[in-house]
Amino acid sequence: MTPFRSVTVLGAGTMGAQIAAHVANAGVPVALLDVTADAARDGLKRARALKPDPFFTPDAAALITTGGLDGDLASLAATDWIIEAIVEQLDIKRALLARVDAARRPGTIVSSNTSGIPIASLAEGRSEDFRRHWLGTHFFNPPRYLRLLEVIPTPDTDPAVLARVTRFADHRLGKGVVVAKDTPNFIGNHLGLFGVIQVLRALESGAYTIEEIDAMTGPAIGRPKSATFRTMDIAGIDVLGHVARNLAERLPDEDARRAFTLPPLVAALIERGWIGEKAGQGFYKREKKDILTLDPQTLTYRAKQPARLPALEAARSIDDPAARIKALFLGSDKVGQFLRDTLGPTLRYAARVAPQIAHSIDDVDRVMQWGFGWELGPFEIMDAIGTPEALGDVFPKGRTRFRDGRVPPAASDLQILRSAKDRERVVKRNAGASLVDLGDGVLALEFHSKMNSIGADTVQMIQAGVKEAAANFSALVVGNDAPNFSAGANLMLLLLEAQEGNWDEIDLMIRAFQNATQALRFADVPVVVAPAGLTLGGGCEIALHADRVQAAAESYIGLVEVGVGLIPGGGGTKEMIARAVEHLPSAQIDLLPFMQRVFETIGFAKVSTSAADARRLGFLDEADRVTMNRERLMADAKALALERVSEGYQRPSPRTAIPVGGEGVLAALKLGVHLAWRAGRIGDHDAVVGRALAKVLAGGSLPHQTTVSEQYLLDLEREAFLKLCGEPKTLERIQYTLKTGKPLRN
């Protein structure tokens, strides 16, 4: 299948510019055109200032060229895919597409990013070749971060065109692609809006506050922290009004249209210009450091109030989202009543309209998970509740579930780890990790502690995995299907030992972790580590010791130990030193600039904003690879591991001659720490940690530049780590972080 060599995006508004940014993230040159070249440049400039950043790295923007529809439309003849992303008005889109039809070359694919206008109606009057190469591609905002892409073919769309766009979006853009039917607002906005309207009506009743509703529609039921009203403020209340109008105008019958009539409150907010975050106020308003909440009855703002709902507090102890939602939904309290009045109708509506808007109930679930951040899709939730009397007549006749198991992957090479576990291929397991047979001679090591933190169980299973792979497999892959690879070492265990003064026990813990990371590096079979999401502290150290890394594009990798008053002690400091100097042309070159960069990376606890950024920071090598689609990560890691086997992998030898700078580098780094302390940029304890890090980076107090072994540096970093564990201010930092999740500056 021919890859796209170039893409053109028409419209440099919020969505168009961000779509262009993400195409550039995929390494594909993209032209961004607007009414004028100046408008396109301004749109790109606004995109580059957005937070969160739509670009993996600032360098990605170099792949975008800007131009104007007035003078650059002829350039469409040289592009492979044209994405229209202009204003949501049928007549304006049609007029532009007529010009596109005249300028494009035959065979060029054209799609629209409309959020709800029927795709077939946009192509009326266009040439036969245009209609064969025409479809909808509905990206969700922000395109880099929200996985969902609804692809909407028409009866005229060539199946090969659908397959080409789907494959590119999946493999190169990292999208979860769902093919939707050409119905008003497709799947996501249709069901999402219905649910929002139920919640708005509950607010209109006066029985619930905004804070209570956001507490009941957030993580408690497997939704994002922004819940309902914060999400509306972020997306724009005016956008909500537009989507509702679009549905109300296009749905076929009067009853359906009435179901999408927004309460008067929304119109009142739009009329006042209180349309959310971009206007400074919506359902919430920020005043200096305070967050105020809208009183829907008086349209004034008041101080934000805590939501006191005992059922939510009780449900925190239920880890399984299906069990938690069922318990809350069936509760006899205020939370249960609210969910039955709002979530209940939404689930029943999804069951009723799914055959008209989607090709399967699995697609409906994927849309709500990938596009709206639901932990469980509507049909998974109905299966979890499983109570006909609570949900009404939604289940197939004679059944209390829609499916017997979980939602299957969309393709055989998605989530291969989960598939292996479903086939009962677990080789060994403890509380912290498991060994799973992925087939074809590849063993997987999966972490599954809370936030995949690394404790004694994990370390034990790393060693077991290396031995098992060497004895019975060809390769080892370390990874999981969780949102985060690992948040680092289990700080609670460390704190308890330090408070008891068990320094020998802490020393053994550090040695055990160092031995585990070294075992990964010097394994008899290739080890591929597959990080995704948070890959911090010890998680980063595991990745640093892989033969190869296959990283998810959205990998946030960093050595963050200084935040709790420590330095990397599991071989991370050693590995960053070795990487910084391994390609130097001469052992006598000045090492200070290289150690300064390492000092800044570790000392400032830098965390990559993407896998591409991790390469810039030195956490990934040139030989390491990146997977755009998170659900393909383990399959890609397995393929890389088998590739390393076929190349004739040989385990490396321990480094015995790593250049270090000795007293000269140590003095310079300590001077930098002192000057930063004198200038007030760092605190007293930051200076203590900085001096400890400087000593390791310099190779200790050696009198001159020389070479040392890996084991020498491991001993040095372990000694520094152990010493910092004895600092009262380090223990204060650990305690504060465990309590708040934030670093303490003391």
pLDDT number for residue 412: 65
Contact (CB, 8 A) for 173 and 54? no
Bridge partners of residue 74, in order along the sequence? none
**Domain segments of the chain as ranges:** 7-179, 188-391, 416-590+605-652
pLDDT number for residue 404: 65
The SS3 call for residue 694 is helix
Determine if the peptide bond prior to 593 is cis (ω within 30°): no
Decide: residue 36, CB within 10 A, 0-12 exposed, 13-18 middle, 19+ buried.
middle
Bridge partners of residue 429, in order along the sequence? 434
pLDDT number for residue 391: 79
* Residues near 628 by beta carbon (within 8 Å), at least 6 away in sequence: 26, 171, 172, 173, 174, 553
Domain 7-179 has CATH 3.40.50.720: yes
Phi and psi angles of residue 144, each rounded to the nearest 5 degrees, phi first = -65, -40
Determine if the peptide bond prior to 378 is cis (ω within 30°): no
- Helix pair 710-725, 728-740: axis angle to 10 deg: 80
Q: Which amino acid is at 505?
A: E
Helices (H), 117-217: 119-122, 128-132, 159-171, 188-204, 210-216
Fold agreement (188-391, 416-590+605-652): no
Q: Which amino acid is at 225?
A: K
Bridge partners of residue 489, in order along the sequence? 454
Closest-CA residue to 94 (of 66, 69, 117): 117
Closest-CA residue to 630 (of 557, 556, 552, 551): 552
Contact (CB, 8 A) for 20 and 32? yes
Please give the full DSSP string across 342-381, using - where no structure is assigned: HHHHHHHHHHHHHHHHBS-HHHHHHHHHHHH--SS-HHHH
What would the pLDDT profile of 435-486 be if each residue is shown by its tens digit? 999 999 999 999 999 899 999 999 999 999 999 999 999 999 999 999 999 9
Q: How far is CA 642 from the centre of its chain?
A: 27
Record the tokens describing residue 706, joined without a space.
């020389």
Contact (CB, 8 A) for 634 and 551? no
pLDDT number for residue 565: 97
Q: Which amino acid is at 545?
A: H
pLDDT number for residue 600: 97
Please give the full DSSP string across 303-333, using - where no structure is assigned: E------HHHHHHTT---HHHHHHHHHT-SS
* Residues near 681 by beta carbon (within 8 Å), at least 6 away in sequence: none
What would the pLDDT profile of 287-310 be if each residue is shown by its tens digit? 988 899 999 999 999 999 999 999
Bridge partners of residue 180, in order along the sequence? 358
Q: Which amino acid is at 230?
A: R
Q: How far apart are CA 24 and CA 57, in angstroms?
A: 10
pLDDT number for residue 333: 96
Q: How far apart are CA 622 and CA 624, in angstroms?
A: 5
Sign of the alpha-carbon dihedral angle for 531, 456, 725, 744? positive
* Residues near 580 by beta carbon (within 8 Å), at least 6 away in sequence: 594, 595, 597, 598, 618
pLDDT number for residue 259: 85
Q: How far apart are CA 362 and CA 344, in angstroms?
A: 19
The SS3 call for residue 56 is coil
- Domain at 416-590+605-652, CATH homologous superfamily: 2-enoyl-CoA Hydratase; Chain A, domain 1 (3.90.226.10)
Nearest 5 degrees, angle CA 665-CA 667-CA 670?
105
The SS3 call for residue 726 is coil
Closest-CA residue to 153 (of 140, 164, 142, 144): 164
Q: How far apart are CA 444 and CA 158, in angstroms?
A: 40
pLDDT number for residue 410: 56
Q: Beta strands of 164-312 (E only): which ranges? A: 176-179, 284-287, 290-295, 300-303
Q: How far apart are CA 228 and CA 464, in angstroms?
A: 45
Record the tokens describing residue 360, joined without a space.
């399967």
Closest-CA residue to 554 (of 64, 59, 53, 5): 53
* Residues near 187 by beta carbon (within 8 Å), at least 6 away in sequence: 150, 178, 180, 357, 358, 363, 364, 367
**Dihedral, CA atoms, 187, 190, 194, 200, nearest 10 degrees?**
120
Helices (H), 423-502: 456-472, 491-499
Record the tokens describing residue 318, joined without a space.
């239920």
Domain 188-391 has CATH 1.10.1040.50: yes
Q: How far apart are CA 377 and CA 383, in angstroms?
A: 10
Contact (CB, 8 A) for 506 and 484? no
The count of C-alpha atoms lying within 13 angstroms of the C-alpha of 594, restricted to the half-sphere facing its C-beta, is 20
CB atoms under 10 Å from CB of 124, counted, come to 11
**Dihedral, CA atoms, 8, 10, 12, 14, nearest 10 degrees?**
-100
Contact (CB, 8 A) for 370 and 377? no
Low-confidence ranges of the chain (pLDDT < 50): none
Closest-CA residue to 720 (of 590, 603, 606, 607): 603
The SS3 call for residue 459 is helix
What would the pLDDT profile of 510-562 be if each residue is shown by its tens digit? 999 999 999 999 999 999 999 999 999 999 999 999 999 999 999 999 999 99
> What single DSSP character describes residue 446?
E
Contact (CB, 8 A) for 347 and 191? no
**Dihedral, CA atoms, 164, 167, 172, 175, nearest 10 degrees?**
120
Q: How far apart are CA 438 and CA 444, in angstroms?
A: 6
Closest-CA residue to 230 (of 246, 245, 215, 247): 215
Q: In what order do the strands lie in the sheet with 176-179?
A: 64-68, 30-34, 7-10, 81-84, 109-112, 134-139, 148-153, 176-179
Q: How far apart are CA 84 and CA 316, in angstroms?
A: 44
